[in-house]
Amino acid sequence: MKWEKWKKLYRLIEDDFKFPREREYEARDKLSQILGNNFVEEKEIKELVGEEVYVVGFSPSLEKEISLIPEDVTLIAADDAAPLLNEYGISPAIVLTDLDGDLSSLLKLKDAVFGIHAHGDNIERLENARYFTKRFGTTQVEPVWNVYNFGGFTDGDRGVFLAAHFGAKIHLVGFDFENPRIKPGKDLERKRKKLLWARYLIDELRRRGATIIWENLNGR
| Angle formed by the axes of helices 155-165 and 42-49, nearest 10° | 90
> Is a pLDDT exceeding 60 seen at residue 220?
no
Please give the pLDDT value at position 139: 98
User: Between the CA of residue 149 and those of 3, 30, 38, 108, 215, what are the distances in Å?
Assistant: 7, 15, 17, 26, 26
Binned at pLDDT 50, 70 and 90, residue 213 comes out as very high
- Contact criterion met (CB below 8 Å) for 94 and 48: yes
Report the number of distinct structural domains present in the chain.
Answer: 1
CATH of the domain at 193: 3.90.1480
Please give the pLDDT value at position 218: 62
Q: Which of 201, 167, 194 is nearest to 178 (CA)?
A: 194
Rounded to two decimals, what is the model's pTM?
0.95
Q: Which of 179, 176, 173, 172 is nearest to 206 (CA)?
A: 172
| Angle formed by the axes of helices 188-207 and 3-17, nearest 10° | 150
DSSP type of residue 131: G
- 52 within a domain of the structure (yes/no): yes
Full residue range of the structural domain in which residue 95 is found:
3-214
**Tens-digit pLDDT profile for residues 108-135:** 999 999 999 999 999 999 999 999 999 9
CA dihedral 99, 112, 139, 98 (to 10 degrees): -10
- 219 within a domain of the structure (yes/no): no
Q: Which of 216, 173, 185 is nearest to 81 (CA)?
A: 173
- 220 within a domain of the structure (yes/no): no
**Tens-digit pLDDT profile for residues 184-203:** 778 889 999 999 999 999 99
- 28 within a domain of the structure (yes/no): yes
- H-only helix segments in 50-187: 62-65, 81-87, 103-107, 155-165
Sequence-distant (6+) residues with CB within 8 A of 87 are none
Q: Which of 132, 135, 138 is nearest to 104 (CA)?
A: 132
CA 178 to mean position of chain CA atoms:
18
- 123 within a domain of the structure (yes/no): yes
Please give the pLDDT value at position 119: 97
Sequence-distant (6+) residues with CB within 8 A of 165 are 1, 150, 151
